[in-house]
Structure formats: C-alpha cells, structure tokens
C-alpha cells in the first residue's frame, strides 16, 4: 500500500470572476448580470507536501495548462500607500465570512475548459 505524504498549508484564497468590482457576492447580493463565471484558487504562503515545499505557490495567478487559467491584479489608487492593498474588513457576504478581510482586485484572465464547464474571456489589463 502506498503511503500518502503528510501535507499542510497556510494561505489565502482568491477568485477571478466575471462580476464587476466590487463583487456583489461580498455583500450577499446576486452576481453581476445574475450570472458569474469564475475560478477559485489559493495562494499558499507556507506549506509542504511531504518533503516538497509549497511556499509562495499560486499568488494572484493560477493555471492548469489547457484546463484553467485565472489571473488577477490587486487594485490600488493615487491615495493607496506603497505596498498596501485595497481591502474591506468584515464583509457581510458569503465570499469571506465574518471577521475576514476581502482584498479587491480585477480579473485580467479567466479561462476554463474542464468538467463540462467552458468559458474564455480576458478583462482589461
């Protein structure tokens, strides 16, 4: 019998979807146009799968060649301090849950061809 390696991770999840910014789901509202196409992925800040380190894997970008691709760019503005992100604390919607932080970003690519789902769109860069 093959033994499964121990694994662990600490990180944040992100999604790239077709909704407008800010995403209505964060406020427990229906998605933009009552329809949302998107990908959810994790940024693994720290982690390991057996002896393989997973630190800093999938940060604002996730891709499985030929199946799925999601890229997002964190929002900033003229009054955003250097290195800071536009964030919302304690959002009421289902995306982050109570006491969590939502970081605002814009999806620049969102492509899927897997498990019976298929879409391909590129947002403004």
Contacts 24+ apart (CB under 8 A), 35-41: 37/110, 37/112, 37/119, 37/121, 38/70, 38/107, 38/110, 39/15, 39/68, 39/69, 39/70, 39/110, 39/112, 40/13, 40/14, 40/15, 41/13, 41/14, 41/15, 41/16, 41/70
Q: What's this model's pTM, rounded to 2 decimal places?
A: 0.63
Q: How many CB atoms lie within 10 A of CB 107?
A: 24
Low pLDDT (below 70) residues in the chain: 94-97, 122-125
Query: pLDDT value at position 125?
Result: 41
């Amino acid at each position: 019998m093959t033994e499964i390696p121990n694994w662990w991770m600490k990180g944040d999840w992100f999604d790239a979807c077709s909704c407008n910014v800010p995403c209505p789901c964060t406020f427990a509202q229906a998605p933009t146009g009552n329809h949302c196409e998107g990908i959810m992925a994790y940024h693994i800040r720290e982690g390991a799968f057996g002896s393989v380190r997973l630190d800093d894997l999938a940060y604002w970008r996730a891709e499985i060649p030929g199946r799925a691709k999601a890229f997002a760019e964190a929002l900033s503005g003229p009054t955003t301090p250097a290195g800071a992100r536009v964030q919302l604390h304690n959002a009421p919607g289902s995306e982050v849950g109570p006491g969590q932080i939502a970081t605002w970003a814009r999806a620049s690519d969102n492509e899927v061809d897997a498990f019976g789902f298929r879409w391909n769109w590129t947002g403004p860069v």
